[in-house]
Amino acid sequence: MSAPAILVEDLQRHFGPLRAVDGVSFSIDQGRVVGFVGANGAGKTTTMRILATLDYPSAGRASVMGHNVVLYPADIRRLLGWVPDSFGTYENMTVLEYLDFYARALGFRGADRLSRIDDVVAFTDLGPLADRLISKLSKGQSQRLCLGRALIHDPKVLIMDEPAAGLDPRARVELKRLIRILADEGKTILISSHILSELGEMCDTLLFIDKGRIVHHGSADSLTRAEREFTLIGVETSGNPATLFEWALTAPMVSLDEERRSGARLRIDSLKPDVIAGVLRKLVTDGIPVTDFHREERNLEDAFIDMLGRIEKGQQAVSSPPPLPTTPL
């Protein structure tokens, strides 16, 4: 069996008393695209920086393609492309000079170097910008350059920290397309983002981290469908929505999931059709002027917030991470 592309075991990183990464374990098979999700300060960048050999763990182990990141950093750097959330630029360099500089630093020489640069320029569509100063690039263009830089040595594993942050919708679609192509080539990609809906579309699985701990590792579907014991109904009213909100506070089996401008999303604590029908009947017979109601699914954001709520209440996360392989590093 081939080694996992990324294997993290009980990883810890402490900054004084702060446990930024507090016993993180996960395993990512080769060729998978995995989203890394968590609130600000959850520990994503710290974990990724350790994988990229830019920081040391306080305890625990991490490996990329079977190589321990602390013991074999040079091997890791050959195997891994790192796209940081912000990258320092060299004010007076053009796009081409910048890529050439990195290609030389990575040890490419002669025709090989030129061919690697040509490939990444073509892939990231930087040709028309080749002679532009880096300091004059837009956010989306800089992001493509950053990706191009990370791809010069054709790494097997790509780690991207918030690559979609600050991009306009078109640039985000383009970034998603490039990530899909890289995934189809068989690269393993770990990508952090706050935009859960986009990650859900792009990734095979999602890894959720909260306060330095992994709280879920599974598909987006498994999260939105997880152990649901309630039904969500969106209701539109032609009357004052406040009356609907008040109704939801007193009606049995019902709670207010979300207040809306002309209605609400109600949560009915049952999956049984007759209970749902009874609640909707009562809604109408109690005099709420309903103009529309429809069943709604939770989106990823809702599911994530639900899960954090359950964890705060001391209940278990919706799914535990898949078991780690037992093969030694």
- φ, ψ of residue 194 in degrees (nearest 5): -95, -10
Listed ranges 36-44, 58-66, 199-207, 280-288: which one lies at the site for ligand ATP (CB under 6 A): 36-44
Q: Rounded to an integer, what distance in angstroms lies between the CA atom of residue 41 and that of residue 126? A: 33
Q: Rounded to an integer, what distance in angstroms lies between the CA atom of residue 268 and that of residue 278? A: 10
Rounded (10°) CA dihedral 49, 50, 55, 60: 150
Among residue numbers 4 through 33, which ones bind ligand ATP (CB under 6 A)?
15, 18, 20
Cα separation of the two ends of the chain: 13
CA dihedral sign, ordered 59, 66, 193, 304: negative
Cβ distance to ligand ATP smaller for residue 6 or 254 = 6
Which of 22, 29, 33, 46 touches ligand ATP (CB under 6 A)?
A: 46
| Block residue for tokens 């968590």 | 38
Nearest approach, Cβ of residue 231 and ligand ATP (Å): 33
Nearest approach, Cβ of residue 46 and ligand ATP (Å): 3
Cβ distance to ligand ATP smaller for residue 41 or 252 = 41
Nearest approach, Cβ of residue 36 and ligand ATP (Å): 8
Nearest approach, Cβ of residue 80 and ligand ATP (Å): 18
Does residue 45 touch ligand ATP according to CB under 6 A? yes
- The alpha carbons of the chain give a radius of gyration, in whole angstroms, of 24
Contacts of 72 (CB under 8 A, 6+ apart): none
Cβ distance to ligand ATP smaller for residue 70 or 133 = 70
Nearest approach, Cβ of residue 273 and ligand ATP (Å): 41
Cβ distance to ligand ATP smaller for residue 46 or 231 = 46
Residues that bind ligand ATP (rule: CB under 6 A) add up to a total of 11
User: For residue 213, what is the DSSP state?
Assistant: E
Asked whether 99 and 105 are in contact (CB, 8 A), the reply is no
- φ, ψ of residue 292 in degrees (nearest 5): -165, 140
Asked whether 83 and 165 are in contact (CB, 8 A), the reply is no
Nearest approach, Cβ of residue 13 and ligand ATP (Å): 8
Which of 2, 41, 139, 284 touches ligand ATP (CB under 6 A)?
A: 41
Cβ distance to ligand ATP smaller for residue 51 or 152 = 51
Asked whether 61 and 3 are in contact (CB, 8 A), the reply is no
Q: Rounded to an integer, what distance in angstroms lies between the CA atom of residue 311 and that of residue 11? A: 20
Site string for ligand ATP, 52-71 (x = CB under 6 A): --------------------
Nearest approach, Cβ of residue 200 and ligand ATP (Å): 18
Nearest approach, Cβ of residue 195 and ligand ATP (Å): 12
Among residue numbers 85 through 144, which ones bind ligand ATP (CB under 6 A)?
none
Alpha helices in 125-264 (DSSP H): 139-151, 169-184, 196-202, 220-224, 241-250
Which of 4, 43, 57, 263 touches ligand ATP (CB under 6 A)?
A: 43
Cβ distance to ligand ATP smaller for residue 14 or 78 = 14
Asked whether 141 and 170 are in contact (CB, 8 A), the reply is no
Does residue 44 touch ligand ATP according to CB under 6 A? yes
User: For residue 24, what is the DSSP state?
Assistant: E
Give the binding site for ligand ATP (CB under 6 A). 15, 18, 20, 38, 40-46
